[in-house]
Amino acid sequence: MTTGPTTIRPEEDAYAGLMPTAVWRHFAALNRIPRPSGQEAAARFYVQRVADAAGYPWKTDARGNIVVYVPGRAVGAGAPALAVQAHLDMVCEKRPEVVFDFTKEAIRAVRRGDRIYADGTTLGADNGIGAAMALALIDDADVAASAHGPLELIFTVEEETGLLGAQALDTSALPLQSRLLVNLDSEDPGELTIGCAGGGSATIRLPLTTAPAPVGAVAAYTLVVSGLSGGHSGVQIHEPRANAIKLLSETLTSLQSAGLPFSLIDVDGGSAHNAIPRDARADLLLAPEQIAGFEAAVARAAAEIVARWSADEPGLQIETRPAAAAASPAVALSDDSAARLLALLRTLPHGVLAMSASLHGKVETSCNLARVRREDDQTAVLLMSVRSFRNESIRTVLADIAATAQNLGATTEIATGYPGWEPDPESPLLALIRTLYERLHHTPPVVEVIHAGLECGVIVAHVPGMEAISFGPLIRGAHSPEEYVDIPSVATTWTLLTALIETVAKPS
């Protein structure tokens, strides 16, 4: 079944002529819809409209997950059902100079050769391309003409904030017949993913006290760390990518070590729990006679840090700028509060904590110092995200974080997060997809586990006995403004998916 020819709107020029048509049409439509985590209602309504146009039933649960039920075609009554799953939300990151409201504006796509980027923001290919493929199974003409078993298309919400939609999936409201699950949230077309790390988080709250600004005239300055690569805090945590919050705290510590007095007003950095911080800033108060020494000390510290990271973070900048007059409050943090906050930023862990002893070359446990904010005049809030293939390691790291916070006068709220997905190398579903992959590509796929959260493990826990696998097109730079999707790989992934739905329906 098709919806007829599609007129390419001006903002969709980047998608013009791309194949498969239905996939790119739905991706373009999703990228016209603002869909931050927790605000997926409009995207869900789009899924409903596509299903209604095809005459297929759908159901939603209280969290906002939706399942579209596509009946089998030209197969016997015993053909197994296949679940195909993607999430509707996206990470909302932009370059500092870009003015963009993710709650109101459409993503501006740009085509560069065989890649689709966004103009200064995340693209949302994670997981918009996967959702577009699931939608295309509803109205692609070739799929509608093929023989396939029943399909259950699962669209989840709030994946990027801790797999919250999948964790709340209500299988009584959304009954699933499938015992075979394909997740379309992987980012390398040469890999079949069969396992993933679990995760947890810690929210640290540090009580603050304030003190009057130093007597006499003061100058407000902002110290800014910017231009870092950022990226996915699971997939790219082992890469040499700097954390802007850590570099900010290092610079401030260097200023203290140089004996330069300043009063700390505010610290702000990072965004999402699953994004390595790209930018951070600190607002400071200085006496006018300290400005020259301050700028010289920052220049020395910045030169050393930038030189150390020059090969891996060529865009790194550490600079000062005078703050606006409105940013010159009469009070700053007390010396004690400032010292505690900076000590937290220095001592909390970030990066790879342990490599796997059984999975060669794989990160076993990691931590992302993801965000710091002043919530109000009385509290600084820090967010830590922990991942591991070992649940006990997650608990241990979170307990260590809580102990560090307590020693510095802060409290910690721990969220247990989501379970890992235990790999099953003997899965019949894996064997089938491996055979199809080799037939299509004339080379074997890489069978992989990843140090990131996938919804497979959560959904499998809801449906005992379900087998799962994850694959997808080539996506790089996810969770950062450098995100792109490789155009040819979308077509090859679609070919594998459609071959699978036809093959699963055939009698063995």
Query: Following CA atoms 355, 358, 361, 363 in sequence, which dihedral angle do they give, to the nearest 10 degrees?
Result: -40
Q: Cβ distance 68 to 23 under 8 Å?
A: no
Phi and psi of 494, rounded to 5°?
-60, -40
For β-strands 210-212 and 198-207, DSSP reports them as: unpaired
304 included as an active-site residue: no
Q: Report CA-CA distances (Å) from 154 to 29, 56, 158.
A: 18, 13, 13
What are 177's strand-pairing partners?
A: none
For CA atoms 102, 108, 112, 115, give the dihedral sign. positive
What b-and-e string marks burial along 11-33, b requiring 16 or more CB atoms within 10 Å of the CB?
ebebbeebebbbbbbbbbbbbbb
Closest CA to 502 of 444, 436, 440: 436
Q: Cβ distance 427 to 206 under 8 Å?
A: no
Candidates 159, 185, 364, 482; catalytic one:
159
What are 446's strand-pairing partners?
A: 191
Closest CA to 358 of 455, 420, 423: 423
Phi and psi of 6, rounded to 5°?
-115, 130
Q: For residue 250, what are its two tokens?
A: 């290092």
Candidates 89, 455, 467, 486; catalytic one:
89
**What is the distance between the alpha carbons of residues 380 and 410, in angstroms, rounded to a whole number?**
9
DSSP string, 2-29: -----PPPGGGGGGTT-SSHHHHHHHHH
Residues 6+ apart with CB under 8 A from 272: 91, 92, 93, 160, 161, 370, 371, 479
Q: Cβ distance 72 to 209 under 8 Å?
A: no
Q: Report CA-CA distances (Å) from 255 to 297, 307, 434, 464.
A: 6, 18, 56, 56
Residues 6+ apart with CB under 8 A from 474: 187, 188, 189, 485, 486, 489
State the amino acid at position 263 in one-letter form.
S
Q: Cβ distance 429 to 501 under 8 Å?
A: no
The helix-helix angle for 41-54 and 125-139 (nearest 10°) equals 20
11 included as an active-site residue: no
Q: For residue 73, what are its two tokens?
A: 């075609």
Tell me the catalytic residues.
89, 159
